[in-house]
Homo-oligomer: A and B are copies of this chain.
Amino acid sequence: MPTKEVCCPVEVTLKIIGGRWKVLIIHHLLNGTMRFNELQRSLTGITHRTLSRQLREMEIHQLIVRNNFNEIPPRVEYSLSPLGHSLKTILLSMDEWGRKYSAVAK
């Protein structure tokens, strides 16, 4: 497999929301706009370097909107785009299944 072709739509979605943090970031942004450090404090354990990269990827994938106020001290706000917000259904399904799994399996 030289090129990792992704053919299936399910795979596309997994590519976009996969990884350690993205779903958590989306989860927090579902409640509204948040600033960078505010997000970092919510996502216990994430480094600002990682948060920075995750947010940029999600911005490129058009899931979130970055609003830089160009103030001193800096102020940048992140919010979900309509596309990002439309992931809510999947997140809810995953939340529900995760609870069931934790209750049923082991």
Contact = CB atoms under 8 A, between A and B. Distances in A.
A94 B10 contact: yes
Nearest to A44: B7
Contacts of A62: 104-106
B1 A45 contact: yes
Chain A contact patch, size range: 35 or more
Interface stretch (A32-40, A72-80, A83-91): A83-91
A87 B14 CA distance: 14
B23 A98 contact: no
Contact of A98 (B1, B13, B27, B101): B13
Interface of A: 1, 4, 8-14, 16-18, 20, 23-24, 27, 45, 61-62, 83, 86-87, 89-91, 93-102, 104-106
Given A62-B106, A83-B105, 8 more contacts: A8-B24, A10-B94, A10-B98, A13-B95, A14-B94, A61-B105, A83-B101, A90-B93
